[in-house]
Structure 1
């Protein structure tokens, strides 16, 4: 027996209520941060779910979805509108992501110049890294703080730098980290001059990214205008042309509407790809980036970690290395 539309609506309401309870539990349950290890993917997701911006957007998406369901009695339309509100910043934003990449690159340039100046003052690399980590820009300071912990735990510096590369996940950072690793392994002279050249190249890249970001802003506005016009036309048909959209009230109409919304979503994602840019992929090989158990026990002792937390640190770093391959 084919289920009617009321049954589908009731099932959607029940599923939404259950999902809301799960999200509420995630929001209420606290997470104790551990500064000695980078956050895992689950911790990053939980932290994002607990952010006020995402909570407000989730509440708005639920309200808009329920209103759409009440007014049209189309569960597919309600699900599509809810997804649109939830993923609006990702699909039609992009500016914040690009701005975050620029902020991280600027922080990397400042740290590179600070590291160069400290090394020029006759400090070794093992001494310069902890000294510059304390005054590093906030965008990369947590990663440099963990690098300092590895250095103080007597982890070989080249392996600690590879762990830093696995955490930053940035091609521009890999250029600096790669030069530091070569200096550690070869113990050659002229590291300050190399860092000066890398900082100059990074500043040129920073200026170029800013110009590209300004040029993409017009493309993003065009994408948003197309989406708003499409949504406005759909609302006009629902309100002023009931006879035209009446076939969508059946099960077959909902299946057709799902196909149409899927095509629109694919086109919106394609326009989002045109309006945004993918960062360059990191290039350092991280086969030796994993920290051994003995070194982790030393880090755990110095930072007050338990044995279980030290094992989680190993698992998190292995996951990061696997994601890079």
Structure 2
């Protein structure tokens, strides 16, 4: 049997649709996690998120393919829909980072006020863990549990730093470790200055994010208008875009879409924060506890 372009297209669309259904089922199937795992794998979370978006990407790609008969554009639109979150700004990562900094600043202030009442760190940390922000509450609760089972305070704080895995948290935790080992005065003043520094960083990030969100919205509008314009021309004025129906036209279209993709990747790189390296690492940081 001869493999015609139409048959190859049907096979490709069927394979994409089957893969999307498999990923969707895998993403929606609940799984029990082992007791010793504290958090789901980052790769597993990415696969689950991709499994939720792939069916929408396949649907959009098939729709564009039916309307335009351009395989290159259909694949590009499908990939754009499937990877929309990654291409346009990593808003979830930005929100998580801001929430973590805000939670650290609030917890530092709460810890400072609790320590001011002549309470030791061993008592102040569990007392402030319950009212902490949800962004850091799980790690703080783990720290409080370790203190309850008599883990030495410096070791518990070091493991807390590994759990947080954040350069901003290292500054605060390092001050707590030094105080736990030396038992010297001035902890309240140090926590005050660290909380003010965290608040200043939070304000700076919020200003930057506000500017970046307007830029991302502009790019999304440009992309949406471009897609609607191209699809509209192929439907209402096919003679104008007839040169793209040929194999050479598809290659030219692939080059144009590659320029768009390069622009998206560049924008994605510009939207990322350059976080400083952590300095409070333990040798057992990579071991699953």
User: 1:283 aligned to 2:278?
Assistant: yes
User: 1:80 aligned to 2:76?
Assistant: yes
1 CA distance for matches of 2:116 and 2:156?
22
Deviations 1:137-160 (A, max 9, x none): 111101111222333344443343
User: What TM-score do the two structures reach when normalised by structure 1?
Assistant: 0.76
Structure 1 counterpart of 2:199: 203
Structure 2 counterpart of 1:40: 41
2 CA distance for matches of 1:139 and 1:43?
20
Structure 1 counterpart of 2:111: 115
Alignment of structure 1 residues 238-277 onto 2, 5 Å: 238-274=234-270, 276-277=271-272
1 CA distance for matches of 2:74 and 2:260?
15
Aligned CA distance change for structure 1 residues 155 and 45 (closer, same or farther; 3 Å): farther
Aligned CA distance change for structure 1 residues 163 and 44 (closer, same or farther; 3 Å): farther
**Which stretch shifts more, 242-251 or 181-190?**
242-251
Structure 2 counterpart of 1:22: 22
- Is the 2:67–2:231 Cα contact (8 Å) retained in structure 1? no
Question: 5+ unaligned residues in a row in structure 2: which ranges?
Answer: none
- Is the 1:69–1:78 Cα contact (8 Å) retained in structure 2? yes
- Is the 1:61–1:81 Cα contact (8 Å) retained in structure 2? yes
2 CA distance for matches of 1:71 and 1:47?
30
Structure 2 counterpart of 1:175: 171
Aligned CA distance change for structure 1 residues 246 and 167 (closer, same or farther; 3 Å): farther
**Which stretch shifts more, 60-69 or 162-171?**
162-171
- Is the 1:183–1:191 Cα contact (8 Å) retained in structure 2? yes
**Shift of residue 4, structure 1, vs aligned partner:** 4.7
1 CA distance for matches of 2:124 and 2:48?
32
Aligned CA distance change for structure 1 residues 47 and 80 (closer, same or farther; 3 Å): closer
Structure 2 counterpart of 1:71: 67
- Is the 1:95–1:213 Cα contact (8 Å) retained in structure 2? no
2 CA distance for matches of 1:249 and 1:209?
47
> Which residue, out of 214, 233, 236, partners 1:237?
233
Q: Which runs of 4+ in 1 moved over 4 A?
A: 33-36, 93-96, 250-253
- Is the 2:87–2:264 Cα contact (8 Å) retained in structure 1? yes
1 CA distance for matches of 2:8 and 2:253?
15
Structure 1 counterpart of 2:12: 12
